Amino acid sequence: MKKIVVLISGSGSNLQSLMDATSHDLQAQVVAVISNQPEAYGLIRAQKAGIPALSLSTSAFANREAYDAALMGMIDEYQPDLVVLAGFMRILTAGFVKHYAGRMLNIHPSLLPKYPGLHTHRKAIENGDSEHGTSVHFVTEELDGGPVILQAKVPIFPDDTEKEVIERVKAQEHNIYPQVVQWFVSGRLTMVGNHAYLDGQCLPPQGYVNE
């Protein structure tokens, strides 16, 4: 059974989808959940599931490098096969990313490379886009720039609010993130250089797309 450590900052809805999947067909175990926000509701989700729920506040550290070094130490105690970022709202240092190269995933609420960074839903609406979505990718030193593995698209309707688009995207996130994690833990998914490979085939720049 492969071991996963999940990093969160907020409510942990993607964490919940992963925990639910491990109870069904995801052949992996979430061995720890770590948050940079001690009050994150995702920690309560983990506790209810009997999973170690840890917090590491940034306030105790002089700089980003010191924080990431401490976070690495905390993660490595669990010897994970995979580190999953599930709404972990921090920019990671190069040393941290290199340490987990090829075994760290992130999910980003846009159809990358479109709209890296924050406020993606708002940008899509303001720009008059007819579709939006979410992307699962390997983490590299480039912010939201690692090889894309799988995307899911959702429509944007003319009278949509930002909240409606967010909920539509989240529903797709909860579907595709466990799928990609399963690909990884079953040995089907790897990162070679700056490319994602599934079943030995190099994926296109935007990965597979669920319409």
Catalytic residues, which ones? Answer: 108
Say if residues 75 and 103 touch (Cβ distance below 8 Å).
no
The answer to whether the bond into 205 is cis (omega within 30° of 0) is no
DSSP letters, 17-29, are HHHHHHTTT--EE
Q: How many whole angstroms separate alpha carbon 180 and alpha carbon 133?
A: 16
Q: Which residues contact 57 (CB under 8 A, 6 or more apart)?
A: 36, 37, 38
Cα–Cα dist 188/171, whole Å: 24
Q: Sheet harboring 2-8: ordered strands across?
A: 53-55, 28-35, 2-8, 82-85, 104-108, 131-138, 148-155, 208-210
SS3 (DSSP) at 184: helix
Cβ neighbors of 13 (< 8 A, separation 6 or more) are 87, 170, 173, 174
Distance from C-alpha of 92 to C-alpha of 68, rounded to nearest angstrom: 7
Q: Which helix (H) or strand (E) holds 133?
A: strand 131-138
